[in-house]
Chain A
Amino acid sequence: MDAGRAGTGNVAIMNKIFNRGNASGIVTVVVLLLLWQVIASIKQTVYVPPVSTIFVTFIHEWFSPTFGQQAVPSLYRMAVGYFFASVIGISIGIVIGSFKRIYQLLDPVLQFWRAIPATAIIPVGILLIGIGDQMKMVVICFGAMWPILINTADGARLVPTERLDTARIFGLTPIETLLRVIVPSAAPMIAAGMRTGLSIAFIMIVVSEMIGSTDGLGYYILQAQRTFAIPEMYGGIGLLAILGYLLNVLFVSVERRVLAWHYGQSTRPA
């Protein structure tokens, strides 16, 4: 499992491990928060405001137009970038994975692009496209595309020969085989790639907004730090955490539904 490839086999087990015995966990969190509050109130320092201050600022900031001004643009850019990353990644991935020759031909090129950290591309993006929504969407798309593409290609490659042969025996055309056999077979790996892609998209939006932007969550947090609006900074980070968590939950619930047939199995087929 590297940053490009993700497996779903362990996730089920990990989710089972993480879903029991919540009580002591909550207690720990509460205790830590209380400690924070107490220490911060006693030892007044700008760097670590009391939890209460952060909380109040959070409510004040994010249940206000600020949400629309800062959070929504971030989410919007991310959504668009991720959407195109998925479309491009899946379509190219399926083609590459289905034809051994093409995969062999393109492999070094793919490895080359995949090795470059997506964030390092941001300066190039700024030069070529400037600072704006398009740059961010392009950069997000570029970053999120690779795990999706590679996982899709792997999924398409690893369709059992017997299934492809069965399709031929029953007289399916190549397109039908693609849509009715290859895509469903590859679906679990595609989903894994899309999940990795999602977290990369999330990172890319924050980074691109920190480097070259005039609005957005990334910009907001960095700016808050620069202007010493510390509670706002914490609040922003907190919001990012919540959004990240929600996105993940959303993704997993959709994945569970679409791939219900896959999660029902105790072992994944080859």
Chain B
Amino acid sequence: MSNPSEILLDVNGLQKRYADGTLAVQEITLNVRAREFVSIVGPSGCGKTTLLKTICALLTPTKGSVKLHGTLITEPPPQMVLVFQDYARSLFPWLTVTGNVMFPLRKRKDITQEDKQQASQRAIEAVGLTKFAKHFPWQLSGGMQQRVAIARAVAFRPEILLLDEPFASVDALTRADLEDLTLALRDEFGITMLLVTHDIDEAVYLSDRVFVLSTPPSTVLEEIAIPLAQPRDQVSTRSEAGFLQLRNHIHGLIGKKKDDGMKSFILDQPLPRAVELESDPVS
């Protein structure tokens, strides 16, 4: 396990420009320490998904670099897993929950079959879906499906988990459960978390640090430390004075930078699924 204060992920001057010239991400510099929970917040359309995909090496940056443990990343590294917002499209409908969770382990020759089964069982337990292990994803609710996606990521034993607005497509109650689940997973498995969200409250609740992005083409407006009490609790943390202060501060940051002067309360609405980017299928 890495040194607690070691920088695990180092993103430096990252820029992503598409083939048609659009600048999605202008310049992003941030870092994540081991076992940290870091959130990235920003207004809609600021290229958050693009950013995550570039960090994960699914997309190649136009400028800048991404380093994991000090090494440059060019291909999606096994220490990093990305959990998508749209779980329905990322899970495999022809596999059961267990099948889905075990899927990434198939390749690994260094673990025995038994260990693989154990790992997947443990992951399924950790997300609370043991009773549904033999179900198919489409038999489950949205929140449960997202858990399957998370379990699948966790079973792979990554060092860092990238989460792309993972709770945006579920209802508020489920969202609270999933938020706490993510925290619990971080504690239980020691996985570092990098979460992208438009929900400022969520970001403040979960994180040790928050990076606030501007409107597109995006840059980092500010890096904010969240010194709230650990362990976090939905009721008590959210009623701390510090909580309100921090969230209002971030609100102000993002609201100020809105180009067309629209109110920032729009941020709190669930976003429609953004039109997919470069790697879209031919339509």
Q: Do A and B come from one complex?
A: yes
- Interface of A with B (CB < 8 Å)? 100, 103-104, 157-166, 168-172, 176, 180-181, 184-185, 187, 261-262, 264-265, 269-270
Chain B stretch 24-59: residues in CB contact (< 8 A) with chain A: 53, 56, 58
A157 and B279 CA atoms in complex are apart in Å by: 12
A261 and B280 CA atoms in complex are apart in Å by: 25
In this assembly, does B103 line the interface, its C-beta being within 8 Å of a C-beta of chain A? yes
Residue from the list A104, A158, A170 in contact with B107, Cβ < 8 A:
A170
Q: A168-B58, A169-B56 are in contact. List 12 more A-B contacts (CB 8 A).
A: A157-B281, A161-B280, A162-B89, A162-B90, A163-B89, A165-B82, A169-B58, A169-B80, A171-B78, A261-B95, A264-B136, A265-B138
Q: Are A176 and B107 in contact (CB under 8 A)?
A: yes
Q: Are B93 and A162 in contact (CB under 8 A)?
A: no
Residue from the list B53, B106, B138 in contact with A165, Cβ < 8 A:
B53
Contact partners of B281 in chain A: CB under 8 A: 100, 157-159, 161
In this assembly, does B276 line the interface, its C-beta being within 8 Å of a C-beta of chain A? yes
Can you name the residue of chain A whose Cβ is closest to the Cβ of B82?
A169
A154 CB to closest chain B CB (Å) equals 10
Chain B stretch 232-264: residues in CB contact (< 8 A) with chain A: none
In this assembly, does B156 line the interface, its C-beta being within 8 Å of a C-beta of chain A? yes
Q: Are A264 and B90 in contact (CB under 8 A)?
A: no
B189 CB to closest chain A CB (Å) equals 17
Can you name the residue of chain A whose Cβ is closest to the Cβ of B58?
A165
Q: Are A171 and B136 in contact (CB under 8 A)?
A: no
Q: Are B276 and A161 in contact (CB under 8 A)?
A: yes
Q: Are B94 and A103 in contact (CB under 8 A)?
A: no
B156 CB to closest chain A CB (Å) equals 7
Q: Are A184 and B94 in contact (CB under 8 A)?
A: yes
A185 and B84 CA atoms in complex are apart in Å by: 18
Q: Are A269 and B282 in contact (CB under 8 A)?
A: no
Q: What does the 1/0 interface line of B71-97 toward A look like (CB < 8 Å)? A: 000001010111010101110111100
A100-B282, A161-B280, A165-B279 known; A170 vs B104 contact (CB < 8 Å)? yes
Size of the chain B interface, CB-CB below 8 angstroms: 30
A224 and B107 CA atoms in complex are apart in Å by: 61
Q: Are B92 and A181 in contact (CB under 8 A)?
A: yes
B234 CB to closest chain A CB (Å) equals 29
Contact partners of A166 in chain B: CB under 8 A: 82, 84, 90
Q: Are A169 and B94 in contact (CB under 8 A)?
A: no
Interface of B is mostly: loop
A185 and B53 CA atoms in complex are apart in Å by: 22
A103-B282, A161-B279, A170-B107 known; A264 vs B58 contact (CB < 8 Å)? no
Residue from the list A164, A170, A261, A270 in contact with B103, Cβ < 8 A:
A170
A227 and B92 CA atoms in complex are apart in Å by: 58
A99 and B89 CA atoms in complex are apart in Å by: 20
A160 and B91 CA atoms in complex are apart in Å by: 10
A184-B94, A261-B136 known; A269 vs B89 contact (CB < 8 Å)? yes
A119 and B269 CA atoms in complex are apart in Å by: 57
Can you name the residue of chain A whose Cβ is closest to the Cβ of B90?
A162
Q: Are A157 and B282 in contact (CB under 8 A)?
A: yes
Chain B stretch 105-123: residues in CB contact (< 8 A) with chain A: 106-107
Contact partners of A187 in chain B: CB under 8 A: 94
Contact partners of A169 in chain B: CB under 8 A: 56, 58, 76, 80-82
Q: Are B84 and A162 in contact (CB under 8 A)?
A: yes
Contact partners of A176 in chain B: CB under 8 A: 107
A257 CB to closest chain B CB (Å) equals 13
Can you name the residue of chain A whose Cβ is closest to the Cβ of B156?
A170
Can you name the residue of chain B whose Cβ is closest to the Cβ of A184?
B94
From B76, B80, B281, name the one whose CB has the most chain A CB atoms within 10 angstroms.
B281
Closest 7 CB pairs of A and B: A160-B89, A162-B90, A170-B104, A162-B89, A261-B94, A265-B138, A184-B94
In this assembly, does B62 line the interface, its C-beta being within 8 Å of a C-beta of chain A? no
In this assembly, does B139 line the interface, its C-beta being within 8 Å of a C-beta of chain A? yes
Q: Are B53 and A163 in contact (CB under 8 A)?
A: no
Q: What does the 1/0 interface line of B265-283 toward A look like (CB < 8 Å)? A: 0000000000010011110
B193 CB to closest chain A CB (Å) equals 16
Q: Are B138 and A264 in contact (CB under 8 A)?
A: yes
A170-B103, A176-B107, A265-B138 known; A162 vs B86 contact (CB < 8 Å)? yes
A252 CB to closest chain B CB (Å) equals 19
Contact partners of A103 in chain B: CB under 8 A: 282
Q: Are A262 and B53 in contact (CB under 8 A)?
A: no
Contact partners of A165 in chain B: CB under 8 A: 53, 58, 82, 84, 90, 279
A187 and B93 CA atoms in complex are apart in Å by: 11
Contact partners of A270 in chain B: CB under 8 A: 89
B134 CB to closest chain A CB (Å) equals 12
Q: Are B107 and A264 in contact (CB under 8 A)?
A: no
Contact partners of A262 in chain B: CB under 8 A: 93-94
From B86, B93, B107, name the one whose CB has the most chain A CB atoms within 10 angstroms.
B93
23 A-B Cβ contacts within 8 A?
A157-B281, A160-B90, A161-B280, A161-B281, A162-B84, A162-B86, A163-B89, A163-B92, A165-B82, A166-B82, A166-B90, A168-B76, A169-B56, A169-B76, A169-B80, A171-B78, A181-B92, A184-B94, A261-B94, A261-B95, A262-B93, A264-B136, A265-B93
